[in-house]
């Protein structure tokens, strides 16, 4: 697992991300660190409705950038964050590419396994048309 995490970190380089590209990825608010919960853990919001780019590599770097940002926001007694996934109208047609979904899961389980405090899936249902 450690070798996988090191290999991923060399490939993604989240601490050396191109800030101009991160600004483009962040414009719609698809992923952002939004304050802290009552235990002082940073809250990372994933909003499925706000996708604005198609480059999976940039999206994954942006996710890694936000995970690193959340770690920097932790206080001395905090070592975990909360992920809040807003999944309203999430479906196979609106979901990210499988490559993106797979790397997101690998990132959370292999590269940052000790950091996830809770993952909340919110409004997992289809919009009524």
Q: Enumerate the domain spans of the chain.
A: 2-122
Distance CA 41, CA 32 (A): 14
List the one residue out of 32, 40, 30, 120 whose CA is nearest residue 80: 40
Alpha-helix runs per DSSP H in the chain: 2-12, 19-26, 56-73, 98-106
- Is residue 121 classed as helix, strand or coil in its secondary structure? strand
Q: Confidence band (pLDDT; 50, 70, 90) for 12?
A: confident
* CATH 3.40.720.10 correct for 2-122: no
Position 81 scores a pLDDT of 95
- Is residue 37 classed as helix, strand or coil in its secondary structure? coil
Q: Confidence band (pLDDT; 50, 70, 90) for 78?
A: very high
| Average pLDDT, integer, range 75-86 | 91
């Amino acid at each position: 697992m450690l070798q996988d995490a090191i290999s991923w970190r060399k490939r993604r380089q989240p601490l050396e991300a191109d800030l101009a590209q991160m600004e483009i990825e962040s414009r719609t608010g698809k992923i952002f660190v939004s304050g802290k919960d009552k235990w002082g853990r940073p809250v990372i919001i994933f909003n499925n409705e706000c996708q604005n780019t198609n480059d999976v590599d940039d999206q994954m770097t942006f996710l890694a950038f936000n995970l690193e940002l959340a770690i920097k926001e932790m206080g001395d007694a905090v070592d975990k964050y909360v992920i809040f996934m807003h999944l309203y109208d999430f479906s196979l047609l609106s979901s990210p590419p499988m490559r993106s979904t797979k790397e997101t899961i690998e990132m959370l389980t292999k590269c940052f396994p000790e950091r996830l405090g809770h993952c909340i899936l919110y409004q997992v249902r289809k919009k009524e048309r």
